[in-house]
Amino acid sequence: MVRLERKIIWKSKYLNMGMNKNAIFAWASFILFIIGSSLVLLGVFKYPEYLVELAIAGLGFITIGWAFNALKGRI
């Protein structure tokens, strides 16, 4: 019977994570704000016939980003 061994390919002495949870919430809220603003601007400039729908969706993204920003220090 052959025994298979596990080999560690990558081993680091220091495992340093680049972002903590507050930084992740900050980036998520920033990205949601960019998506929401782009939806609103698309509705204003490119598709005026869908202005109401795109504005509502964009404001929803901005609101979720605002909630993420409010959660930054509390979780």
Report the C-alpha gap between 26 and 60 in whole angstroms.
17
Give 12-41 pLDDT, tens digit per residue: 555 556 778 888 888 999 999 999 999 999
Question: What does the block give as tokens for 24?
Answer: 């992740």
**Cα-trace Rg, the chain:** 22
- Indicate whether this model's pTM tops 0.75: no
| Over residues 49-61, mean pLDDT | 96
| Residue 29 near residue 75 (C-beta atoms within 8 A) | no
Which secondary-structure segment (H or E) carries 63?
A: helix 51-70
